[in-house]
Amino acid sequence: MIPELSSARYLADDFPFAIRSERHDRLHAPSWHSHEFIEMVFVEAGEGYHVFEDARYWLSSGDIFLINPGEAHTFDFPDGEWVAIVNCLFLPDILPEPLVRTMVPMDGLDYLYIHPFLHPAERFRRVVNLSGPTREYVRALLRQMLGEWSGFAQTGQAAAELLRLQLMELLLLASSEYGRQPRAEERAVPSPTTEMVRRICGYLELHAAQKTSLDALAARFHLSRRHMERIVRRETGMSVIDHLHNVRIARARRLLEETGDTVGTIAEKVGYEDPAFFSRLFHRQVGVPPGQYRRQERRESWEPRRRGGGMEHHEFPT
């Protein structure tokens, strides 16, 4: 019999929620189980299979998915593979029904991500892949939630209300992103070529700041450089180098927004030895130089707080 994890064991007594960061691999993966609560999973890094009832889905960095109460699942990993994930565990009544009802009719939202809170018989769409700025935004939001949760015992109701709003934002982001993606069958095991390209892109995301050559990267995956570049372009629509630049610039934007590091320091942190080259590339991709981008972001963040008497403002990624 498949064990069912109880809400009483995993969720707070006075607030039906929990969040935690975990790493799974072949030797450290949960056995088959279901649970009384909803589980939202965000894949921060790595790759592996999510085994869901009678199907297997390949997971990679940026995937976000939901598991309903009572649904059995586990993870499985080829040799050497692993995933780092953030789990949000919660009960449907964590979100007030009037708040949920106001969200359902909004344009650009997928009904199936919110509808289960109103009608428990409905089922969630399970997998959405977040990319670019949205993925980085969700990663940062989850890190904030982990911080709030670590101090929950001390801050109590204030942390609970903030976590409730942040969870709603996660659901809306997933709903909005699902609405933008093609309505295809839920993802099954990819072709060997697609899986290889995902592994290459995942490696680049994990090691974006490190120096490497295309020849060394191809050798790591036992491919010729020409074949690697051809399959990456066919699967992603961009070259290997362009993908690496996109990852680095997304991280640079986050560092410009969240730290006081100099442009030169940020260039080095994301993998560029030449700050001038980094600035030119950043300008070409983002539309403004790094320094101007930082000033704009800080001005946009500060102005609503000043006008709103202390209300926080978060730029919603597009």
Q: Check which CATH number belongs to the domain holding 10 and give it.
A: 2.60.120.280
Say which residue, 112 or 49, is predicted with more confidence. Answer: 49
Domain that holds residue 279: 192-300
- How crowded is residue 182: how many other Cβ atoms within 10 Å of its Cβ? 4
Instruction: Kindly state the average pLDDT of the residues 135-162.
Output: 87
Say which residue, 22 or 297, is predicted with more confidence. Answer: 22
107 located within any domain: yes
91 located within any domain: yes
- Tell me, yes or no, whether 168 and 240 share the same domain: no
Say which residue, 235 or 315, is predicted with more confidence. Answer: 235
317 located within any domain: no
Q: Which helix (DSSP H) or strand (DSSP E) does residue 141 occupy? A: helix 132-150
How many domains are there within the chain? 2
309 located within any domain: no
Instruction: Determine the distance from the C-alpha atom of residue 152 to the mean position of all C-alpha atoms in its chain, rounded to a whole number.
Output: 23
Q: For position 181, what pLDDT does the model report?
A: 60
Residue whose pair of structure tokens reads 């990679």 in the numeric block? 60
Instruction: Kindly state the average pLDDT of the residues 197-217.
Output: 83
- Tell me, yes or no, whether 170 and 196 share the same domain: no
56 located within any domain: yes
User: CA-CA distance, 239 to 249, in Å (whole number)?
Assistant: 15
- Tell me, yes or no, whether 220 and 164 share the same domain: no
Any idea what the CATH number is for the domain that residue 263 is in? Answer: 1.10.10.60
Q: For position 178, what pLDDT does the model report?
A: 64
Nearest to 87 by CA among 187, 167, 188: 167
Instruction: Determine the distance from the C-alpha atom of residue 136 to the mean position of all C-alpha atoms in its chain, rounded to a whole number.
Output: 7
3-state secondary structure of 22: strand
- Tell me, yes or no, whether 97 and 57 share the same domain: yes
311 located within any domain: no
Q: For position 126, what pLDDT does the model report?
A: 58
Say which residue, 245 or 297, is predicted with more confidence. Answer: 245
Contact between 83 and 24 under an 8 Å Cβ cutoff? The reply is yes
pLDDT, tens only, 232-277: 998 888 899 999 998 899 889 989 988 899 999 999 999 999 999 9
Q: For position 239, what pLDDT does the model report?
A: 93
315 located within any domain: no
